[in-house]
Structure 1
Amino acid sequence: WKEWSKIHKELYCLKGNIENDEVQKEQKLMEKRQEQVNVSCSEPMKMFIESLSTLSGNEKDYFLKWTQILIDALSTDDLSSILQTYDTKRAKQTELNKISTKLQSATFGLEHIFREMGQIYEAHESLQKPTKSGPTDWSKYPELAAELMISGHPMELMDGDAGHVPLTWIAGVLEEVIKKLGDKRVFVLSVLGIQSSGKSTMLNAMFGLQFAVSAGRCTKGAFMQLIEVSEETKKDFEFDYVLVVDTEGLRALELEGNATLHHDNELATFVVGLGNMTLINIFGENPAEMQDVLQIVVQAFMRMKKIKLSPSCVFVHQNVTDVGAAEKNMDEKRRLQEKLDDMAKLAAKEEGCDAEFFSDVIAFDVQKDVNYFAQLWEGSPPMAPPNPGYSKSVQELKTIILSKAKECAGITLSQFRSKIQDLWKALMNE
């Protein structure tokens, strides 16, 4: 799949004898798909899919939970020893790159099993293979994934390892969701921020979600999760569901030196483009450390302005020592505003647009759209108690998000599906 993704990206930047190259690459893509079909459906995959197909709702939840616990138990020791060697060899970049590759290989979760399901489906679908009844009936895979997504499980939207979106699989899953729920309206909330800055923890606390937060395992790529709006609050909104898109951290350590900036720009543009609103999560109080991330985010908003999309955004400063210090926070907000204005000018030059201030790019009020969060723990984990101020901050942020959401009609699931296809193809053409 990684090799297929690499060849597929090369299709969009052909040089020289274009027609000949295109035919050769299309042929290679088909060969890769054939290889996938030949090795698809190993014994563990058959058992996993059979269990998903036959278990009832609650049993399915228990099965997935215990599978994740087993996977975590199997990979924890490996991850700990690799992370220790990473800390001891801070100096040599070549050695660090080798350890990073090891770290990526040792990280394993349920998302990898669902990714495998998606790849089996994509390979058979692209080669138009006949379906067989039983656990190897690949045509039923999107339906299984759609059922899980409706019941509140996160689904991978962008594969963080290959840096690619499996469009056929995503379209198949969303098609099944539409069949089961109808073409409902959704409010898309995207989240961006630096690695290990508590994005997934914040979302889990705010909406009761299930994004992976175990130690040593950072989110890779982008995941989407559906949350139904309750009947009593539905009357205040024009949409039926909130669709949360959680992303991997920008400036990820494992990607250092491996075209990180391009990967981050691609990811940020993709999720900002999908979202009706984007939460930008900053860890700590110093915007100077966030310069690279702010530049990536501002550039992504600039691109949206060019194609007449206007998402809103909210900044969240996590791990702030004194949330109540009004004067200090005013100063922080002023510095953040200056930084954003500088980034807007830089991004405007790169994208060939006119923009003097960040508010020229996107509707933004530094007084209302910047929030300060208390630290999650009072003291040092693992023995520290949770900070009650954190829950209060989460509730206040949720209120702000929902008040902004009232002014937005959201988009239908079918429009969201088309948007994924269009945005990803536009990014590939760059």
Structure 2
Amino acid sequence: MYEGPGKVEVHEIDYPEFELKDGPGVNPANVGRKLPHAAILKTVATNICGSDQHMVRGRTTAPPGLVLGHEITGEVVETGPGVEFVKTGDLVSVPFNISCGRCRNCKEGKTGICENVNPDRPGSAYGYVDMGGWIGGQAEYVLVPYADWNLLKFRDKDRAMEKILDLAMLADIFPTGFHGCVTAGVGPGSTVYIAGAGPVGLAAAASAFLLGAAVVIVADLNKERLDQARSFGCETVNIALGEPRDQIEQLLGEPEVDCAVDAVGFEARGHGREAEVERPATVLNSLMDVTRAGGAIGIPGLYVTGDPGASDEAAKQGSLSIRIGLGWAKSHEFATGQCPVMRYNRQLMQAILHDRVQIAKAVNATPILLDEAPRGYHEFDQGAARKYVLDPHGLLSRTS
């Protein structure tokens, strides 16, 4: 539970019901909403995400008392009367996007901008600020609405539990990294530049290899995270040493790449001497600089409409000094927004189960108990090259 800037605590909360109750962050228009189409899950794995860290750092308008967690894998223990196909005992992955399956956007596969789950604007997620108030999954049990639509079932539970740390990445970061690469146009023989060696950046790097990239370059200023990227075949750029363009030229013999992915978002820092100074537009501008004319840039990194901790008034409103003229001149394509997880999660599940990718190894997935979550948040915030996976029922320790 988020309790204020820099403060995460573990508390007892009520067992879920098939109705959305009032509470911190719950949109008043959602209070009392009946959920006969929902399922209650016993949480098997629930991950700490960099997006959660933005809230914990106090960089959003998240209220104290908000239950965190949008990366959920679990076992169905109850279903509402409107659930037809999901059954008690099913082991499932939960897309972090909450979507209804009924609106125009959902029917077009744009599940990241569902029109019916967040009264404020299209798009929702569990345990996240301004997303409608759906209770987060960093808990022992969690409610999932529109269960028949949202849940991805693992048909062989024993086989799935053998790869549960890998499969836990299907809720968000693996599809998100993959989406960043797909929208950037990564394909066989591509040269790819990925800004950010956190879990999403590392997932994007693994995805780039899965898509056939010839060279994957990952940039960061954290040595431990750059070492993690190199552990599975990536080239690396340390932005503390200077501009990416110069280092890319040393690696490739030319200063530009075919494709680029922003896996950093709005808390970006500068390059070289400004590597410790927050410069929220730096990543986007540098990607336009290093991406060839006619190339594309995938932007799964989070940008917000309100950042109370920003260094200037414009950035507090989500306005950044982006060199759109450069992007226009180079005919770049840009793709932003939540990854529509359901577009990819079934295929990526198959890649995991058939040993085509080791995503847990790539992101250094590390299980810890739910009570250890505050430590996990602290270490992640300090730059640990790990993807912390919370284990509320001690099930992961038996398989890892």
Q: TM-score, normalised by structure 2?
A: 0.31
- Relative to total residues, which structure has the larger helix share, 1 or 2? 1
Higher RCO (CA-CA < 8 Å; seq separation 6+): 2
- Relative to total residues, which structure has the larger strand share, 1 or 2? 2
Select the structure of larger CA radius of gyration. 1
